[in-house]
Amino acid sequence: MHTTEQFTNNICINNEFALLMGRSLIENCIIIGNEHLYEHDVYYPTFRNCILDFELPPEAIDGGGNLWADPLFADAENGDFHLQPNSPAIDAGFDTTASYYPPFDMDYHERVFNDIIDIGVFEYGAPPLGTLRGYTLTTQNGEPVDYVLLKINEQDGWFEFSDSSGYYEFKLPAGTYDLYAERVFYDDGAEYGIEIEAGEITEQDIELLSQVS
């Protein structure tokens, strides 16, 4: 049995080998300028909504949406892999609603902009995310509570843990959010209607009532 590895919204450029994985699903990736495709045997890799500069080998599966074109990076020679305004990678990705996509790109800008995800690591024209940060504290005396589970709008995909000092941080698109906090030996805490603005920092501490006297 071979486990399928997923390789999503990445770039692989000018390497000796493009892929090091076994059974692979490669989607929304830019793979160009590499000397060889595989280092080891690869079992039926699927390429979907990728920009490529090589013909798919017989053992590969064409998942559709692939492009054979210049991705039009801003300045690839100097390591700038942002997209030019006329890049074919813009709005050409696959599956914009899957929960495994983080809500941000490599610049901490919104990952899906204009309703369709871009191919590659940067989302062209997307606004920056806002930052929600603060501390988890006890209601009784304001002391920090460590390792608290924090959820945004009680969605399973958006969660963080506060650190040993009680500090937490989220990167979020502009909008209004509810923040929930859970930890053993404490009553759950919540803060509602937190406004997040693009590119701005919002400070919000959240208190939990200890169940231990």
| pLDDT tens figures, 169-179 | 999 989 999 99
Domain membership of residue 184 (yes or no) is: yes
How much is the pLDDT for 100? 63
Query: Can you give the pTM of this predicted structure?
Result: 0.79
- Does 199 lie in the same domain as 167? yes
End-to-end CA distance of the chain: 53
How much is the pLDDT for 6? 85
How much is the pLDDT for 36? 81
The residue out of 117, 149, 171 marking a domain boundary is 117
Domain membership of residue 108 (yes or no) is: yes
Rounded distance between C-alpha atoms, residue 181 and residue 163, angstroms: 13
- Does 93 lie in the same domain as 28? yes
- Does 167 lie in the same domain as 91? no
The residue out of 117, 151, 170 marking a domain boundary is 117
Q: Which domain holds residue 19?
A: 4-117
Q: Which residues of the chain have pLDDT under 50?
A: none
Rounded distance between C-alpha atoms, residue 141 and residue 144, angstroms: 9
Number of domains in the chain: 2
Domain membership of residue 125 (yes or no) is: no
Domain membership of residue 40 (yes or no) is: yes
- Does 101 lie in the same domain as 20? yes
| Six-digit token string for 136 | 């988890």
How much is the pLDDT for 79? 94
Domain membership of residue 24 (yes or no) is: yes
Rounded distance between C-alpha atoms, residue 173 and residue 126, angstroms: 10
- Does 164 lie in the same domain as 71? no
How much is the pLDDT for 201? 98
How much is the pLDDT for 143? 97
Domain membership of residue 124 (yes or no) is: no
Domain membership of residue 140 (yes or no) is: yes
CATH number of the domain residue 141 falls in: 2.60.40.1120
How much is the pLDDT for 19? 75
Q: Report which residue type is found at 181.
A: A
- Does 165 lie in the same domain as 97? no
